[in-house]
Structure 1
Amino acid sequence: MDSLQIAASLRRYGFEEVEQRTHALGYSHPAMGGQRVYLKVSRAERGERAMPVGKQPLVLHPATAAHPGFARTRVAAMGPNYRYKNSNMSAFPRKPGESATGIAVDVPDLAALEELLLLLGVPVAQAGEAATGLPAPDRPAARTDAPRQDGPAPIHPASGEAAVALQGAARGATYHAREAIDFAEHCCQGTGRLEAGPFNLDALAMAIEGPRRLRFCPLGNRPAAPRLALVGITPGSQIEAFADALSTTDVATAASHAAFSGAQQAIKKLLQAHGFAARLGISLEGDLNQNPAILTTSVVKCCLMVDDGYRFAAPDIAASPAALKCATERLVRELRGYATLEWIVVFGGPAWEALHALSFEGRPVIEALREGGRHVVQLPHFAQNFQQRELYACDDRAEAELIAAKPDRARYADEARRMRHALLVELAKA
């Protein structure tokens, strides 16, 4: 789970946001006696929209480590950072001249979060019913002893009684579909159907493969003659914007509306850097999904989750038959289907690595995409570390000045510089 997914769950459990800083949000619950937990967020300034953080997004008070039973929780078994420092956590202890200290943990799924909150004294049984749409006694238990499958597992479409359970009754359902949706009409591998009426996100599940789930969420637009493609790894929390839009509009409109939802400001800054968009003659005014020169899509077009989180890499895609076909055959054919497409921008390391690691027709996907002279470049991820984005936007001289003023930025410089130089090389070729 990323930080904004955890935030949504905390609110359903009765937590209130009591502190908002640039890089951290503080939450409290009446049962915790004034103690807070913090969630990491990514943004350059407090006035910007908070973007989710996936790595160890939840930060606990240092005293939690001494709590009886903490060492046996699933979050404690995932290698917490017991010395995480962040100056934004005003309620946590700090030494003079140092940032506040807490315990940063990964939260693999909702069951692990509930286990932790129960340890902290937060009642989760009734809240869990509201959070999932399922009565507490019927909710799936945490699978702490289930081995992870390393190879491809059979696809198990959500159907029959399971599909009914996933669809849920009106009570506790989070979203509403204005019309019935046949997944196969919008997805090359779509199986299943969403009935009109209330639903929760699990009702969008098309395939379950061991720890992997593929949810119906074909985000992106469909311009007639784009020149620039923006490619993410897979829809993350944008699936919530997609599900919300289904109450008032059709699938294609909802998919376009939700693509890169909440991230367009950061994306526009990346595209403006080094005069990139200007060199292409593309205006960035307005909604990027409504721009006739821009195609929006993802490596895995629908929402792939691994262990109930969005953090995964090429091996996870390769281990999923459904995701693998989407990231190779579907992606290449989608992008090569536009004769006008000249540039393909890939956001973040996992997506970039996947294009090199996965193959289509006997060669890396990235080579297939470069066919015909298309320029394929990597840009920093729009929702992850802002330090890398900040350095990417610099020229070499400004980078040196920034690192001199903020030495902590140095560890982000190599990747940012590599992406910047690669873009400038491609621009020189164009």
Structure 2
Amino acid sequence: MFRPLFVFIGTRYTRAKRRNHFVSFISLTSMIGLALGVVVMIVVLSVMNGFDHEMRTRVLGMVPHATIVGDQPITDWQSLAAKVQQNPKVEAVAPFTQMQGLLTHDGNVQKVLLNAIDPVQERKVSIIDHFMQEGQLDSLTPGSFGIIIGDKAAKALGVGVGDKLTFVAPEVSVTPAGMFPRMKRFTVQGIFHVGAGEIDGYLGLTNLQDLARMQRWKPDQVQGLRLKFGDLFEAPRGAWEIAQHLGDSYYARDWTRTHGNLYQAIRMEKAMIGLLLLLIVAVAAFNIISTLVMVVNDKKGDIAILRTLGATPGTIMAIFMVQGTVIGVVGTAIGAVVGILAALNVSAAISALESLIGHKFLNADVYFIDYLPSQLQAQDVLMVCGAALVLSFLATLYPAWRAARTQPAQALRYE
């Protein structure tokens, strides 16, 4: 197969030579360094994508995209929900009532945000059904005073399905005997595990009518409506528009106020870490400069002979650009393959390592999830490989330019 002269010579220079193995070793290390840089970038960006995805699907699938709350308990929430759903951005609406307090059992105490729901409507706006370990959401029937809690809270309280626990409300009841805290016995009807410490430890679910009775409301009264948007990034503006349309007695709250800082931090960290890791790839690419400079010094005699045979400076320059580009292409290709395989298996590998050494790298008390997620995206792989190839090509320009300036007479003087 026909190959241009500069391609033929440039590719031959990348292979080992009996005369100078050291130059070939430097070429190999440059190639390996570039491959490692590409691997690290692909894996880290995939992990950051995983955190971003888990934040959007798991955490924001459990917490409301937005809520509409009234100044007073809402009696006819169905008609209010019908008005809200006239907004085309809203996919589903469900009623809710919240109350903070403490759960106690056998001397164990755990703070809780008790979220009263309608099990049928809640499925439209939440993905809680996907994470039930024991029990069912439908068990939260009116009058049963059942509660569903996270596995972390269940472990802290030492309870299981069927056990009784006491909810202590942050209010007191005045009696002739004095003031006593308001308490109510609940039965554990289910346990869920989302993987987010904030949710698994401090969220409890009960029936709307049961919590309304504790609030001394009418059975059909609720605190507000939970909204699910087709695009969660439409929630801030969409919820504000809905509240404005409903009147001054309603106000909106969206996920950016509760988890927005965490989400923005993940996006910013991905950008900054990607930039810093790109510098690693740049260092590996610039190693090609030192490799080609050594090759040029080693091949001065060959360059002089080629020039005397009629090779132009452009041909000489192209020879060494081909050699550097081959190093970059091979290193990038190896790094891309290994990086893709590593990104697809890093979650399982870290999980196996945690089981082996008995240590949890991601603690749900510190991070919003307790496992290492990874989501490989084609655009990240293309971006990393493209950046590595561009940097590798730029690294070939100066050594190739130096080779083209070699004077045949001076190079052959001591040959």
Q: TM-score range by the shorter chain?
A: under 0.3
Higher helix share: 2
Higher relative contact order (CA 8 A, sep 6+): 2
TM-score w.r.t. the length of structure 2 is 0.25
TM-score w.r.t. the length of structure 1 is 0.24
Q: Which has the larger radius of gyration?
A: 2
